Amino acid sequence: MIVLDRVSKSYRTLEGHKRVLCDVSVVIPPGCSLGVLGANGAGKSTLIRLLAGTEHPDAGRITRSAANVSFPLGFSDTLHPKLSGRENVVFLARIYGLSELETIGFVESFAELGTYFRMPVGTYSSGMRARLAFGISLAIQFDVYLIDEVTSVGDERFRTKCLDAFRQRMDRADVIMVTHDFETMRAYCNIGAVLRDGALTLFDDLEAAIEDHARAMRQNPAMYAMEPI
Amino acid sequence: MIDAAALAREAVATARAHPHDAPVAIHAAMALFHVGDIPQSLHYARMATSLDPASSSALRVLSGILNAAGERSEAIAVALEAVRIAPAGAELRLHLGGLLAAESRWKEAAEHLSTHAVSAAPTAHGWHLLSAVLRQLGRTERATAAAREAVRTDPEMIEYRLHLASLLSCRALHSLALHEVRLAQALDHENPTVWTMLSSLHAALGDLPQALLAAEKAAALAGDTPAALAQLAYVAGLCRVPMPDGNPKVWLDVPVRATKPRPAPRRPTFTEDLATRWQVIFAIMLRDIRTRFGHTRLGYFWAIMEPITHLMTLGVIFYVLNHGTAPVGDNLFLFYITGLVPFLMFSHVSHDIMSAGEANNAMLHLPIVKRTDVMIAHALRQFGTEAWVGIVIFSVAGLLGERGVPADPLKAMLAIICIWLLAVGVGAVNLVIIAMFPSYDIVFGAVLRLLYVASGIYYSPIAMPDWARDALSYNPILQGTEFFRIGFFPQYDPHWVDVSYLLTWIGASIGIGFALERAMRHRMVVYS
């Protein structure tokens, strides 16, 4: 269960404070997978980072009561460029208290890096880095997976493999997802939330959330219109 | 049309009657051109130029007909000749500029079109063409000015307005561009290109709902052409709304995921929590050793050797320079070392903890890793390193027949731990300050150098006047080094060492440091 208790977050920009979340209180119960909707720049990625704990709210609390929340799926920034792929895997296995050998075995066969697995990550292409990051994300059984725009990695076959592995993980986990691909969102999420003007509205039904969001985007546009620069 | 054909026949007849009259031939060529008989008109135009090679109007007509016949390079050559004869011909310049632009010879085109533009009667088309050519040359500012002239000359032309708008949006002047497009919209409300442009400008200005509406309108008006659909897909993507007429299959086989209530996982106990923290800290320590000291087996050995050589060099230099007797103990070199080892423990550890807060510390992106974990891992690793340095150096001293083992090992150890804890506290405070004021790094470097001379490394407060000793005894690091010497040397028990004062410093710095870290946590952004 993830609880957001009166959470506020804003950024200082050149035009002044940009409010992303304003006094948001929601409960995401276990067993629910959430698709987050909102226009570009509404703060969906910030919400994901707040949930991951890599950023902290200005006010309020986020409680992840005992839920092991993932880092954003396929996020390769945490890989150390000087360490080999294998050493990076060992590090993550260690911090998450997993069997090192098993994790190495899984990622090595999953990421298909061949001999590069023992080479520094700095020598990898971006595709290889992404494959390694996906392998690591999927090697760990989290309770809640955070997904921020799954960019398609590799070829069709690798994507299918990713989805299969992810589906297995999903039997015992939930997902909080931001994506422009509604097909994927419908496949994985059963509840939806709309982020708009700093408010996060939860819907029991994903379709209802999508409908509400689309309606709001079309209706009364002047309400959301920005002043011309 | 019938009239034109009759006129053409008449003109040809006249031309046949006067085979040496150039203007008549020109007239025939133009009349034939109007009825679409290109080969015949070409014949008469060539005739006219051969009759009067100095006539720029004959050349102009020939060039136009050549262009219509698809002989563009010849048309350009003829037009260039005409311009040479009549450099002031504005229409001629426009014609030539258009031909050159069609050949992508932008520079020359710009030259002739600008001559046209500064002539007495520049046309809107001329300005428009000049603007397009200038844009190709990358001179968007001048191009915008030219486009504005085109719009001013012919305000009714939607194309010119759209061109101006696209130039303005190129220069990120989106709201000015929007104004132009709105004026174009007033001219024709049902133009899909206008709506598409309106949509992309709204999107650029961040007004997504308006952009979406405009894109949908454009798609409806254009009957789903690829350009309109691409714009709609782009805006729908920005708005995160599904495409209205996307794949219908999506709506049919939706694998409905039922809510599977799972018992909320048990909250970990305190010991489990502690175990997780240790797991993380230990993993960070191992990773740091690996990344900092390279991949060689001797990597960590060098990490220890580096401060040892530093100590040895300093100790030896001061030993050689100063032949006096040691203030404490019977060896000056050993006296220096007993000051340097605790001091380096302080300076290295406090500096190392600061680096745990570096904004680019990628580990902090992992939700399980807390900043305090990184701090503690750095502190422990550095403690290990410094302890090894001390052990090696004092063992060497012992092997050389000097005092290698402290007189009171427990007290010496305690002193080292005190210094280390003080460094942890000061490092934690620094970490927060540096996150707020990045230039603090330099300030702290200066403070460390000051402390280097104020911590009783190369002298003993014994030899100091009372007032200096009183002042120096406020320095907690001096307290630490002296505390270490108490443990190291037998029968050394100076009255100015106040362990409770040192402990207060430790408690306060650790308390303030970690409390500050907790309070400021949300302000210390981890950049991605």
**pLDDT for residue B212 is more than 60:** yes
Residue of A nearest to B207 (CA): A225
Percent of chain A with pLDDT over 70: 93
**pLDDT for residue B4 is more than 60:** yes
- The predicted-structure confidence for B108-124, as pLDDT tens digits, reads as follows 888 888 888 877 778 88
- The predicted-structure confidence for B452-475, as pLDDT tens digits, reads as follows 888 888 778 777 788 888 888 889
pLDDT confidence of residue B513? 92
- Sheet with A191-196: strands ordered across: A144-148, A174-178, A34-37, A191-196, A199-203
Cβ pair B166, B177 in contact under 8 A? yes
Highest mean pLDDT among B333-337, B403-407, B425-429, B518-522: B425-429
Partner-chain contact A95 B279, CB within 8 Å: yes
**CA B45 to the chain's CA centroid:** 61
**pLDDT for residue B259 is more than 70:** no
- The predicted-structure confidence for B177-199, as pLDDT tens digits, reads as follows 888 888 888 888 888 888 888 88
Partner-chain contact A190 B522, CB within 8 Å: no
Partner-chain contact A218 B209, CB within 8 Å: yes
The complex's ipTM works out to 0.79
Q: Decide if A169 touches B, using CB distance below 8 A.
A: no
Q: Select from B267, B291, B365 the Cβ nearest to the Cβ of A82.
A: B291
| Full 3-state SS string of B211-254 | HHHHHHHHHHHHCCCHHHHHHHHHHHHHHCCCCCCCCHHHHHCC
Partner-chain contact B365 A52, CB within 8 Å: yes
Strand-pairing partners, residue A175, are A145
Rounded Cα distance between B442 and B460, Å, is 28
How distant is the Cα of A156 from the closest Cα of chain B, in angstroms?
A: 19
Mean pLDDT over B75-92 rounds to: 82
**pLDDT for residue B249 is more than 50:** no
Residue of A nearest to B285 (CA): A91
pLDDT confidence of residue A227? 37
Q: Residue B78 — very low, low, confident or very high, per pLDDT cuts 50/70/90?
A: confident
- The predicted-structure confidence for A199-226, as pLDDT tens digits, reads as follows 888 988 888 888 888 887 776 444 344 4
Q: Select from B259, B268, B365 the Cβ nearest to the Cβ of A190.
A: B259
pLDDT confidence of residue B248? 43
- The predicted-structure confidence for B199-211, as pLDDT tens digits, reads as follows 888 888 877 778 8
pLDDT confidence of residue B253? 43
pLDDT confidence of residue B427? 92
pLDDT confidence of residue B428? 92
Partner-chain contact A190 B258, CB within 8 Å: yes
**pLDDT for residue B415 is more than 90:** yes
Q: Which of A:96-135 have CB within 8 Å of B? A: 96-97
Q: Decide if B255 touches A, using CB distance below 8 A.
A: yes
Q: Decide if B525 touches A, using CB distance below 8 A.
A: yes
Angle between helices B332-354 and B299-321 (to 10 degrees): 140
- Size of chain B, expressed as the number of residues it contains: 528
Partner-chain contact A67 B208, CB within 8 Å: no
**Long-range contacts from A63-66, C-beta under 8 angstroms, 24+ separation:** A63/A2, A63/A3, A63/A5, A64/A2, A64/A144, A65/A1, A65/A2, A65/A3, A65/B264, A65/B267, A66/A143, A66/B264, A66/B265, A66/B266, A66/B267, A66/B268
- The predicted-structure confidence for A61-89, as pLDDT tens digits, reads as follows 888 876 788 888 777 778 888 888 999 99
Mean pLDDT over A22-41 rounds to: 86
Helices (H), B56-173: 56-68, 72-85, 90-102, 106-117, 124-136, 140-153, 158-170
pTM of the model: 0.66
- The predicted-structure confidence for A42-63, as pLDDT tens digits, reads as follows 888 889 888 887 778 888 888 8
**pLDDT for residue B417 is more than 90:** yes
Residue bearing the bigger pLDDT, B321 or B160: B160
Q: Which of B:264-303 have CB within 8 Å of A? A: 264-268, 275-276, 279-280, 282-284, 286-287, 290-291
pLDDT confidence of residue A104? 93
Grouping H, G, I as helix, E, B as strand and the rest as coil, residue A99 is coil
pLDDT confidence of residue A165? 81
Q: DSSP secondary-structure letter at A23?
A: E
How distant is the Cα of A35 from the closest Cα of chain B, in angstroms?
A: 12
How distant is the Cα of A39 from the closest Cα of chain B, in angstroms?
A: 4
- The predicted-structure confidence for B285-325, as pLDDT tens digits, reads as follows 888 888 777 666 677 777 788 778 887 887 778 777 777 67
